Structure 1
Amino acid sequence: MNDKTELTGMESAPKLLDKHLGNTLRHLRLENGLTIAEVAERAALSRGMLSKIENGLTSPSLEKLEHLANALGVTLSKLFHDYDTPKGGAQYVKHGEGMEVVRRGTKCGHTYHLLAYDQGPKKLFEPFLITLEEQGEIFAPFEHPGTEFIYMLEGRLEYTVGDELYVLEPGDSLTFNAEQPHRPENILQMPIRYLAIIYYDSLDSTTDIEL
């Protein structure tokens, strides 16, 4: 039973490829205003054979595919360029709908909205929209794995990385090794909003990151 199921699965991939090639060839032929007879003659194939290929009923050899590609004025790779392309998988977050998460800085007047996430325990990157809501709050320094990129959206903020102090205004960006101590130092103009994107240098990232 299992052997039969596995065989069926193995046979499905060629059938899908045959259908893809047939659809691609038909689309290119019609796009160029050619008939089956015209393309068949150019490719040295019978009309019946070309019809079977376009309908995904037979598996053409590479030699026949090359003749068909030449007859249609395209490269052989053009016939395969969008085969097995991943579909979907994009994460779309509407304005104001990012998932609010709790981090250590939340107690210091931070609001964190996670704008995208990796499924599973390992992370490649994390993009946050951060809002600072309390003027004059003292922030503890943060240290964590990865490289962090900050892009200032609104307000003016003094931000320290290691021993350096930076004044961030709308449009400014800051990139640094996040294993250095870093933190908002002083809020100069409210409201404060900025993007903080963490790229992890390895897949050994933790799930409790401070910014």
Structure 2
Amino acid sequence: MRFQHSPSVWSDFPELAVGVVRADGITPDAAPDLDRFTAVAKERLASGTEADLPEIQAWRRAFSRMGLKPTQYRCASESLLRRFRREGALPRLHPLIDLCNAISLAYAIPVGVFDLARVAGDLEVRYAAGDESYLTFGGEVERPEPGEVIFADDEGRAHARRWSNRQSGHSAVRDGTSAVLIVAEAMHATARADVEDLTAVLAEELRRFWPADPRTSIRSH
């Protein structure tokens, strides 16, 4: 499958940097080390809140440009950091999700994980037409708002809504998931360098804890 951002998204958000990892051989029995990533997050939050971080501020500006209230709709990394700051930990879901969440905490960058077996054809980050379907984790079907940034496949299924705000339950990682696409996106001043570092670290962790041979790419304007 091919993954891309539409030309209009690149045009409207030229500061965007994207890291992409494709990996096979994912299993639910791995036990990655999360502590070194959560320790970084604790240190970064020690002197303030997630709203003070440049990575989060950049996404808040992007959400405002999309016509969304950034304190009502938060990017995934802000939501994770907010919960982590309040509760001191995140729930364990699946070892790959737990790893990606921990890395997202450390870098304050949204990291999305998609089960490739549940994606029809190619996947594109684009503006919604409004006729796409989105399956919530609760099993409800929604229609994205026209002009909303979504992750859309060839069958018109939205695998994420409001860009980095909320993923779909349809392509969420499950115990039977084997092949995944992992996407990290950032827009702050050092986005490209930070996304490169995040992507390299993630690939290293995948090799360390799974029989995976991850393929990576970095994209920016």
TM-score category by the smaller chain? under 0.3
Larger relative contact order (Cα-Cα within 8 Å, sequence gap ≥ 6): 2
Identify, as 1 or 2, the structure richer in strand. Answer: 1
Identify, as 1 or 2, the structure richer in helix. Answer: 2
Larger Rg: 1
